[in-house]
């Protein structure tokens, strides 16, 4: 088979890439080794920036009423298990934290990918990947034998033990495991023996959560050292001993489900791109799962890469557009790894750490600390580097354009609605904005040009907004034509959204 893009790995991140590419009219295939979606509990948290970007691409239901209702101070969260962190977002945006099981997202993205024309090949395990001058050859074993696929580009979304990363020869920066952790769902004969919530003792941590069926979902953290064999499957007896030891009392449990182990092993790929091969999600970065940042980081990888790859597949991309993926996403992944390592450091036992946690709890109560840590966890503090060859792209370039209600020449509209079609947006505000129109004529085929009244919520006379919601250019630096040429080929036409 011959396709424009092959996505290896059909978890939520891979399926989101496929859904986006197929929506842009890219001939896309997904190769996934599993027969179906697993309901094993995994990630459940999507943080603010991921939620905001998903809304702009139409992956969230449209609200019954416009965004903008008053909120009671944001969404409560934690940092290193310490309460007091509040994640906030502008009132014009969706709620800053979306709780949604990973399996539900995977099914939703798969359905959208299939409806848009992507081919989903399950039970296909990739065994080899060979980079060639004009594409990539993939070999896989399927239920009916060997399959060979030639793709213009390959996206590796195949998890922490990525075959794509290994076969593409992409190296990694790693930190070995220093702690051991267990997870599983059990029935507690005495439910009150372990209330729901975060439990810290001198020996470690236990996190307990009840589900609607009465099961208790457990996660443990033992900082005494890494497990001798982290790939060995845990048993109910091991989980019971660990929970009882950390709690300092016997806790009976039965009917185990979804037992597993994890650690603080970290990996950051040395590059997120190798020619025509790209890495997203866990294939590119792995970290200790504290703070619920893994799924959001992978979603943002997907939404950053997909529109660029769609343009490249259609021959509409600027000459350096695909290189911006690594430049933008790898530093963000590094920051996630660093903040999860910092959180784990705060969670380690010891009297000196108790004192530090006490100081940190006080900082969480302060607005300044809340703003910094909330932006860090939610990725709302992300500012993208400029891609204009050392020239300034204007004040505000690289920041995220938050949702605002605009009075346009065709009626009222908001930023989220204007970006939902997946096209780059040239927003001209008032007469001053109109003077930039002529510079963009060579890109009329790809731009969505919108004229609107000036508004304090968008303090620019004109701006170029990428499909993912980030500002690519504002007046005050390099000319608009120079900025457009970085992202889009001259004469580029809109690809089917």
| SS3 at position 11 | coil
Confidence of residue 203 (pLDDT cuts 50, 70, 90): very high
pLDDT tens for 122-171 read: 999 999 999 998 999 999 999 999 999 999 999 999 999 999 999 999 99
CATH of 2-174+267-378, one of 3.50.50.60, 3.10.20.340, 3.40.50.300, 2.30.30.100: 3.50.50.60
Specify the DSSP class assigned to residue 201. E
Q: What are the residue ranges of helices labelled H in 26-94?
A: 48-56
What average pLDDT does the segment 39-63 reach?
A: 92
DSSP for residue 385 = P
Decide: 151 and 135 in contact? Cβ < 8 Å: yes
Six-digit token string for 68: 């903008």
What band does 71 get if pLDDT is binned at 50, 70 and 90?
A: low
Question: How many whole angstroms separate alpha carbon 447 and alpha carbon 452?
Answer: 16
Q: Confirm or reject CATH 3.30.1330.40 for domain 405-487, answering yes or no.
A: no
Nearest to 42 by CA among 253, 262, 243: 262
Reported as a pLDDT band with limits 50, 70 and 90, residue 70 is very low
Q: Tell the residue number behind the tokens 């703070």, with chain if given.
A: 291
CATH architecture type of domain 181-262 = 2-Layer Sandwich (3.30)
Question: How confident is the model at residue 492, as a pLDDT?
Answer: 85
What is the rounded distance in angstroms from the CA atom of residue 5 to the CA atom of residue 124?
A: 16
For residues 44 and 101, is the Cβ–Cβ distance under 8 A? yes
Distance of CA 367 to the CA centre of its chain: 26
How confident is residue 408, by pLDDT bands cut at 50, 70 and 90?
very high
pTM: 0.95
pLDDT digits (tens, 9 = 90+) for 375-407: 999 999 999 998 766 567 889 999 999 999 999
Query: Where in the chain do CATH 3.30.70.2450 domains reside?
Result: 181-262
**Where, residue-wise, is CATH 3.50.50.60 in the chain?**
2-174+267-378
Side-chain-facing half-sphere of 461: CA atoms under 13 Å: 12
List own/partner pairs for 201-206 with CB under 8 A and 24 or more apart: 201/246, 201/247, 201/248, 201/349, 202/349, 203/245, 203/246, 203/248, 203/349, 204/246, 204/349, 205/81, 205/246, 205/347, 206/243, 206/246, 206/247
| pLDDT band at residue 311 under the 50/70/90 scheme | very high
Distance CA 11, CA 33 (A): 10
Listed in order, the ranges of the chain carrying CATH 3.40.30.120 are 405-487
Question: Tell me, what's the pLDDT at 367?
Answer: 65
Residue 368 has pLDDT above 70, yes or no: no
């Amino acid at each position: 088979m011959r396709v424009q893009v092959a996505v290896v790995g059909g978890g939520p991140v891979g399926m989101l890439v496929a859904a986006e590419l197929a929506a842009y009219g890219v001939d896309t295939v997904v190769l996934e080794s599993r027969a179906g979606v697993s309901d094993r509990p995994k990630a459940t948290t999507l943080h603010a920036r991921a939620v905001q970007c998903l809304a702009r691409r139409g992956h969230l239901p449209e609200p019954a009423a416009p965004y903008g209702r008053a909120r009671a101070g944001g969404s409560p969260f934690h940092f290193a298990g310490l309460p007091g962190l509040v994640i906030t977002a502008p009132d014009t945006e969706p709620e800053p934290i979306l709780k949604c099981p990973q399996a539900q997202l995977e099914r939703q993205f798969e359905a959208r990918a299939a409806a848009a024309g992507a081919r989903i090949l399950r039970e296909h395990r990739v065994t080899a990947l060979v980079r060639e001058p004009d594409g990539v050859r993939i070999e896989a074993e399927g239920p009916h034998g060997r399959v060979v696929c030639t793709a213009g580009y390959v996206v590796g979304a195949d998890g922490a033990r990525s075959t794509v990363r290994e076969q593409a020869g992409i190296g990694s920066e790693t930190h070995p495991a220093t702690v051991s952790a267990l997870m599983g769902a059990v029935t507690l004969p005495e439910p009150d023996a372990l209330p729901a919530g975060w439990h810290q003792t001198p020996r470690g941590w236990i996190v307990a959560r009840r589900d609607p069926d009465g099961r208790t979902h457990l996660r443990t953290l033992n900082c005494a050292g890494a497990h001798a064999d982290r790939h060995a499957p845990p048993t109910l007896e091991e989980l019971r001993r660990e929970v009882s030891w950390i709690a300092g009392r016997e806790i009976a449990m039965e009917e185990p489900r979804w037992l597993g182990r994890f650690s603080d092993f970290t990996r950051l790929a040395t590059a997120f791109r190798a020619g025509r091969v790209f890495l997203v999600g866990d294939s590119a970065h792995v970290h200790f799962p504290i703070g619920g940042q893994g799924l959001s980081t992978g979603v943002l990888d997907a939404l950053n890469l997909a529109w660029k790859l769609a343009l490249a597949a259609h021959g509409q991309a600027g000459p350096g557009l695909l290189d911006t993926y690594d430049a933008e996403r790898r530093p963000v992944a590094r920051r996630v790894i660093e903040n999860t390592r910092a959180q784990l450091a705060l969670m380690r036992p010891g009297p000196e750490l108790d004192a530090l946690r006490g100081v940190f709890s006080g900082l969480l109560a302060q607005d300044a600390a809340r703003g910094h840590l909330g932006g860090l966890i939610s990725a709302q503090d992300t500012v993208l580097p400029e891609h204009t060859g050392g020239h300034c792209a204007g004040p505000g370039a690289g920041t995220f354009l938050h949702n605002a209600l605009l009075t346009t020449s065709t009626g009222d509209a908001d930023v989220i609605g204007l970006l939902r079609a997946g096209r780059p947006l040239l927003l001209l505000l008032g007469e001053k904005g109109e003077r930039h129109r002529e510079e963009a004529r060579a890109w009329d085929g790809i731009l969505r040009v919108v004229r609107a009244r000036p508004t304090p919520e968008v303090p620019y006379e004109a701006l170029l907004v990428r499909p993912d919601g980030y500002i690519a250019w504002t007046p005050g630096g390099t000319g608009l034509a120079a900025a457009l040429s970085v992202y889009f080929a001259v004469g580029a036409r809109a690809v089917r959204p």
